[in-house]
Amino acid sequence: MEHNFGQDFVPAPGSFDKSRVVNVKPIRTLVPVFPSPSNPSSSSNPQGGAPFVCVSPSGPYPAGVAPLYPFFVSPESQRLSEQNAQAQAGQRLPAGPISTAVPINSFRTPTGATNGDIEMNEVDAEDGTGNGSHKRKSGKKGRKPKGARGAPTNVNPEAVANDIFESINPIVFDALSQPDGRDSVTYTLLVYEVLKRKLGQLEETSKDISGAKRPDLKAGALMLTKGIRANSKKSIGVVLGVEIGDIFFFRIELCLVGLHAPSMAGIDYIGTKTSQEEEPLAVSIVSSGGYEDNVEDGDVLIYTGQGGVNKDKGASDQKLERGNLALEKSMHRGNDVRVIRGLTDLAHPTGKVYIYDGLYKIQNTWVEKAKNGFNVFKYKLVRCPGQPAAYMIWKSIQQWTQKNASRTGVILPDLTSSAEKIPVCLVNDVDNEKGPAYFTYSPTIKNLKPTAPVESSAGCSCIGGCQPDNYNCPCIQKNGGYLPYSAMGVLADLKSVVYECGPSCQCPPNCRNRVSQGGLKIRLEVFKTKDKGWGLRSWDPIRAGTFICEYAGEVIDNARVEELVGENEDDYIFDSTRIYQQVDVFPSDTEAPKIPSPLYITAKNEGNVARFMNHSCSPNVLWRPVVRENKNESDIHVAFYAIRHIPPMMELTYDYGIVLPLKAGQRKKKCSCGSAKCRGYFC
């Protein structure tokens, strides 16, 4: 019982040994539970409760197209807190007078139906299962051999998209054909992510892809054309499957999930032509700072109408038409209006983050003179009460950052004691625990018995950093011909192993192929969860595919693992040999993370933030082995990446995997991830 020095413990800045804190058991030590033999109740998958969904590989890949990054997904809603879920459940129905939703200009005829086109809607309509009608081309072109990408070839984005869509797991089609919900939203965004990155990757290498200069737009257009989208009926109020606090990084994502249809305009409305109504009615707005909006506080928004800017004619008065008219009409009807707040993404200052902040009502509208002297419309929107915090969370974080507001529950401003470049806060606003058990913070993995590299590892000689179009770079070749990271530093093309540049490479530390080597980039904090011990979450919004951290600790061998298991000291063990569930959007392209040789890491005594990441059966983080080029020894790391966009302050979790068979003395532990797809236990 190490609870002794907990209560009167006061961290003395500077003098304090940060790693010495009170024992709090992590989730892994929760009461063991024996597996219930075949649990038929976990039946949300169409294969009838089988724990693994397997679809035989198919893979017609066009020349030059490597198999895709298959983001694992469990489409579980995973919210900050239960209140959010409650609020969602109790969410009001659309308050507007429009009871029947209006279809967006959807399901257009697929353009240029080349061979291999998929008719999404037929899948929906025919048998409802999506299993049978999803035709696959019988295996023709084989998979290109690893690293065999040759000179740049012209690639048709639509062919790329078709191949991707063809490799989609039928369960995705099932979800998409169901009434729209969280699954269809999650899957839609996942497929979009994969397609966007693939197009971006190809654009970098083969230069000549028609229309792929904007992979975000191109990918979005292809998705819409094929009907891979959610909530294609435009409606006022709640959007099924989209939760307050959800974040997006591209405007077209808002369109894909049915939150906000226009790809650019800030006001979405239902026009008179597309509905039975006499007047246009507003649906949603995006406030991105393009106009002179004011933000009084988190719950009030002064929004500026659209128009009055014309790049040819210059400025002019805004007119009461289109979106402006719709907002006015919606105000008179007392309709709810969805609000999406756009902020600059600090991680990528060139980009934006969009936060869905829930429903607002328009309280007032007026005309005023803008700075340029022309009339603009103003709308005062007030947030409907009872909704979970979303944008407010961002404001709070901003205030903590600026030290303007003191935060309750902070135990340590930096539990790494500057071992990381950026501080990691330790906080408990739940109870009186003063911190986790003693451990030494170590930012990286320690391999006490280095082994020779499995493969030859001469490294590259890319002096200015590895370039995506350099076909001769050996590091790129190891990754199958493409850099594994996108230009935005996001995991773009992941197979079972990521090959990064390493000590034997001549490229600089800022090389795009060294993403996991720069230490923490995201501001993380270790916090006390309600019922899972300590956990990990982020102050910053995280893009899907972003590197989060590696699993630091001491490398041990299997014998030691079994010892520790026998002593019931197996918490904090990372075990690469477990079975990692792969319910995939793209089963044919997915390989479970595979390590050249088994890797066991214990972070019991020594570790980094990763040791605090809890298990979830619906995780938002996954791991991949990262092999770095190193002549003298094998240089393997375990890196964690975001599966999807993760809003600030949402707990980060990964799947601990399944141990088969159980080691002597090993017991499964009861899982409290709370997910609807929870397996009930983990190891």
Partner DNA sequence: GTAATTCAGCGGTAT
Partner DNA sequence: ACCGCTGAATTACTA
For residue 152, the minimal CB distance to DNA (Å) is: 17
If the CB atoms of residues 289 and 386 are measured against DNA, the closer one turns out to be 289
Binding region for DNA (CB under 7 A):
102, 104-106, 210-211, 213-214, 216-218, 220-221, 224-225, 234, 249-252, 255, 261-267, 269-274, 280, 286-291, 293, 303-304, 306-310, 322-323, 342, 348-352, 487-488
Q: Look up residue 504 and give its amino acid.
A: S
Integer-rounded Cα Rg, in Å, for the chain is 26
If the CB atoms of residues 269 and 482 are measured against DNA, the closer one turns out to be 269
Nearest by Cα to 75 from 155, 217, 187: 187
For residue 240, the minimal CB distance to DNA (Å) is: 16
* Residue 358 CB neighbours (<10 A): 25
* Residue 151 CB neighbours (<10 A): 7
Listing DSSP states for 513-573 in one string gives GGGGGS---S-EEEEE-SSSSEEEEESS-B-TTBEEEE--EEEE-HHHHHHHHHTT--TTE
In 288-335, the DSSP E strands lie at 294-297, 300-304
* Residue 653 CB neighbours (<10 A): 25
For residue 306, the minimal CB distance to DNA (Å) is: 4
The residues, ordered by sequence, that sit 6+ positions from 50 with a Cβ below 8 Å of its Cβ are none
If the CB atoms of residues 288 and 440 are measured against DNA, the closer one turns out to be 288
Q: Look up residue 494 and give its amino acid.
A: L
User: Contact 19/439 with Cβ under 8 angstroms?
Assistant: yes
If the CB atoms of residues 67 and 342 are measured against DNA, the closer one turns out to be 342
If the CB atoms of residues 370 and 676 are measured against DNA, the closer one turns out to be 370
CA distances from 151 to 148, 408, 472 (A): 10, 58, 11
For residue 400, the minimal CB distance to DNA (Å) is: 21
The residues, ordered by sequence, that sit 6+ positions from 455 with a Cβ below 8 Å of its Cβ are 596
Could you tell me the strand order of the sheet in which 445-446 lies? 445-446, 553-556, 600-602, 573-575
Distance CA 396, CA 407 (A): 9
For residue 284, the minimal CB distance to DNA (Å) is: 12
For residue 255, the minimal CB distance to DNA (Å) is: 5
If the CB atoms of residues 110 and 502 are measured against DNA, the closer one turns out to be 110
If the CB atoms of residues 129 and 263 are measured against DNA, the closer one turns out to be 263
Angle, CA 261 vertex, CA 255 and CA 267 arms, to 5°: 135
For residue 380, the minimal CB distance to DNA (Å) is: 13
SS3 349: coil
The residues, ordered by sequence, that sit 6+ positions from 80 with a Cβ below 8 Å of its Cβ are 245, 388, 393, 647, 649, 650, 651
**For tokens 């532990």, what's the residue?**
669
CA distances from 214 to 112, 156, 202, 290, 644 (A): 20, 14, 12, 21, 20
For residue 188, the minimal CB distance to DNA (Å) is: 13
For residue 616, the minimal CB distance to DNA (Å) is: 29
For residue 105, the minimal CB distance to DNA (Å) is: 4
If the CB atoms of residues 324 and 618 are measured against DNA, the closer one turns out to be 324
If the CB atoms of residues 169 and 235 are measured against DNA, the closer one turns out to be 235
For residue 258, the minimal CB distance to DNA (Å) is: 9
If the CB atoms of residues 225 and 457 are measured against DNA, the closer one turns out to be 225
For residue 641 the two structure tokens come to: 């990446």
If the CB atoms of residues 271 and 503 are measured against DNA, the closer one turns out to be 271
